[in-house]
Structure 1
Amino acid sequence: MKILEAVSYDVLMSRFTREHPYDPCDEANSNDEAAAHIRDAHRVLCGRWHRVLLEGPEVLDVVLPWHLGEGGDVELIPPTGLTVAAAAIRLTALDATYTRTNPLCALKLTRQTHAPARPLYLSTRAMPTRDYAALTVREGLVHLDGLHRMLAWHRSGMLAPGRWVEAYLAGLPDAPG
């Protein structure tokens, strides 16, 4: 991980809302949930945010919370969570069945494969909220926003060594002054 700079919550949220507008008419749009996760992280971790770069393999270790697959029939990630790497293996094993049983999630994965790369939003701890309550891994790099992006990037080979991904990370200690 390369720490680029400390950032204020206002700057972070300005970028998030600009790049991830909420559209209640789009059934694939869950940006309101992501914004809530970011607000929770800000509250729980006392507003410490940093803009960082993560090397591709580091992203594979990000812990993802429970995910039913956008209301589909097959649970992609159990309540105990999975890393991006483990979720990608599970997604591959489900193959075409997942697209048929979870069409909205499959659509989001396809969209993210071709979309411009946007930053991830992560935390150093699991949030004390419903989606994160049963995670077995409570610390490390934990998802706040970007689940479909990370899985799509894995599929496309973007999470390779030497490839870097921008992220906003809550909970790093402030650098000594």
Structure 2
Amino acid sequence: MKVLERVTFDRVRAHFDREHPHDPADDGNTNDEAAGHLRSAQRTLGGRWHRVLLHGPEVLEVVLPWHLGEYGTVELIPPTGLTLERAAARLAALGDSYGETNPVCAAKLAHHRRSTAPAQPLFLSTRAVPGEDYAALTVRQGLIHLDGLHRMLAWRHSGRLAPGRWVEAYVAGLDGD
């Protein structure tokens, strides 16, 4: 990880809100939930945010919390959590059936796989935050997902997390400047 700079929560939220607006009319838009995770990280981790670059293989170790898949019927990530690498393996093993049982989640993954837009930053924390998605995580420290699950899974599938590739992230809870 390369720490670029310390940033304020206002800057983190402004970037998040600009890139991830909430649309209550869109059932698949869960940006309000992700914004809640950011606020929870702010409260829990004392307002220490940094903008960083993560080496592609480092992203594979990010811990993802419980994920049913937006109104789907197949749980992609159990309440105990999985690393991105293990979740990607589970998704691959499910194959085409995942799209049939979890169409909204599968559509988000397909969108990010096709996207040629510059990668949007991830939002992570160094500890699990309060909330039902994080309550049963077995890994409580490390790099923990706040926002970017579908992007990370799509990037893993498309090879964007290979050695030599870097991903920007905002991380709550890093020590030092």
How many residues are matched? 175
Which residue number in structure 1 is paired with residue 129 of structure 2? 127
Name segments (4+ residues, structure 1) moved above 2 Å.
Answer: none
Which residue number in structure 2 is paired with residue 88 of structure 1? 88
**Separation in 1 of the partners of 2:22 and 2:111?**
16
Shift of residue 114 of structure 1? 2.8
**SS in structure 2 at match of 1:131:** coil
**Separation in 2 of the partners of 1:11 and 1:64?**
24
**SS in structure 2 at match of 1:6:** strand
- Would you say 1:97 and 2:97 are equivalent positions? yes
State the identity as a percent.
Answer: 67
Which residue number in structure 2 is paired with residue 171 of structure 1? 173
Q: 1:88-144, CA deviations, whole angstroms, 9 ceiling, x for partnerless residues?
A: 000000000000000000001011123321000000000121110000000000000
After TM superposition, the structure 1 = structure 2 runs for residues 1-177 of structure 1, keeping only pairs within 5 Å, are: 1-115=1-115, 116=117, 117-175=119-177
* TM-score normalized by the length of structure 1: 0.97
* TM-score normalized by the length of structure 2: 0.97
**SS in structure 2 at match of 1:77:** coil
Q: 1:67-96, CA deviations, whole angstroms, 9 ceiling, x for partnerless residues?
A: 001110100000000000000000000000
- When structure 1 is superposed on structure 2, of 24-33 and 87-96 the one drifting more is 24-33
**SS in structure 2 at match of 1:41:** helix
**SS in structure 2 at match of 1:110:** helix
**Separation in 1 of the partners of 2:87 and 2:170?**
22
**Separation in 1 of the partners of 2:67 and 2:114?**
22
Task: Please list every run of 5 or more consecutive structure 1 residues that lacks an aligned counterpart in the other structure.
Answer: none
Shift of residue 174 of structure 1? 2.2
**Separation in 2 of the partners of 1:82 and 1:76?**
9
Shift of residue 27 of structure 1? 1.8
**Separation in 2 of the partners of 1:174 and 1:74?**
41
Q: 1:38-61, CA deviations, whole angstroms, 9 ceiling, x for partnerless residues?
A: 000000000000000001100000
